[in-house]
Amino acid sequence: MTTVGAPTGHDTPPGHEAPPGHEAPPGGQARAGSQAPVGFDVVAAVRRLSDRADLADLADRYLRALDEGDFDERWARSVFTDDVELDFPPGSHRGLAGVEDFTRGFMGHWQRTHHNVSHYAVEVDGDTASIAWNVVAIHVHPGSLPPPASAAHFYLGGRFEGGARRTGAGWRLDGLALRVVWTTGPGIRSIARVMTGTDGEQAITTWKEGTA
C-alpha cells in the first residue's frame, strides 16, 4: 500500500535532487558508474589498445634480442617484414634476408649491452602504424671485467623511429632508424667512420685497442 504524499521507490526526497546533467534515466534510478559517451565504439577501443600492446611487445622483442645476442632467422621473421628497411649509424640494410647477420655484425663489437628505453609513442592507422622511443644504451667493450669491477663503457643516447604493418602473423616492423643524439666514452673507430665519413678522429677522441 502506498500512503498519499509519501515518496515512492522512484521519487527523490526533497533536498536530494540530482544536479543538472546527472538526472536519473526515465523510469528508474541512475545506474552506478559512468556510462560510455554516445557513439563510443567499445570494440574499436579494445582493438586499439590491443594493437598498441602488440606493437610495444614487438619493440621489446627487438630490443631484448640486442641485449641477449639471439639473432637468427626465426627471430628476424618474428620482428620484421620481408621488405624491411633499416638505417642505423653502423650502416643500412634492406630486406629480411641477411638481417640477422647485419645485426650480429654491429652488435658483435660489444661484449655486452644494456638498452634502456622510454615509453613507446604509437600511432595506429588501420593495418599500419608508426612507433618511436628514446633510448640510452650502454656498450661494454670486449675484455672488460665483470661487475662489480669498474670499466670504461661507451654510452649512447638517441631515438628509434619506425613503421609497422599488420601481417597474417601479427605486427611486424617494416622500417626502423636510429638517430643518435649524444655519445660519451671510448667508441669504435669503424662505426665513427661510417657516421662521419672520415677516419673517425672527428667523432671520437679515444677508442679501445683492437677495435679499429
- CA distances to 62, 107, 108, 183 from 171, in Å: 12, 24, 27, 31
pLDDT band at 14 (very low <50, low <70, confident <90, very high): low
Range 42-196: architecture per CATH = Roll (3.10)
The pLDDT of 106-133, averaged and rounded, is 96
The pLDDT of 51-70, averaged and rounded, is 97
User: Quick one: pLDDT at residue 114?
Assistant: 97
Alpha carbon 42 to its chain centroid, in Å, reads 25
Ramachandran area for residue 98 (φ above 0: left; ψ -120 to 50: alpha; else beta): left
**pLDDT higher for 36 or 208?**
36
- Domain ranges, ordered by start, for the chain: 42-196
Percent of the chain with pLDDT over 90: 61
User: Quick one: pLDDT at residue 4?
Assistant: 47
User: Quick one: pLDDT at residue 189?
Assistant: 73
**pLDDT higher for 189 or 135?**
135
Q: pLDDT per residue over 187-199, tens digit each?
A: 877 676 656 655 5
User: Quick one: pLDDT at residue 206?
Assistant: 45
The pTM for the full model equals: 0.73
- Summary mean pLDDT of the chain: 82
DSSP 8-75: -TT---TT-PPPTT-PPPTTSPPPSS--PPTT--HHHHHHHHHHHHHHHHHHHHHHHHHHHT---HHH
pLDDT band at 48 (very low <50, low <70, confident <90, very high): very high
User: Quick one: pLDDT at residue 33?
Assistant: 57
The pLDDT of 128-148, averaged and rounded, is 95
**pLDDT higher for 46 or 197?**
46
Would you say how long the chain is, in residues? 212
HSE-CB at 169 with a 13 A cutoff on CA atoms is 11
What is the maximum alpha-carbon separation in the chain? 98
DSSP 187: B
Q: Which of 210, 192, 211, 191 is nearest to 201 (CA)?
A: 192
pLDDT > 90? residue 44: no
Reading the block at residue 138, the C-alpha cell is 650502454
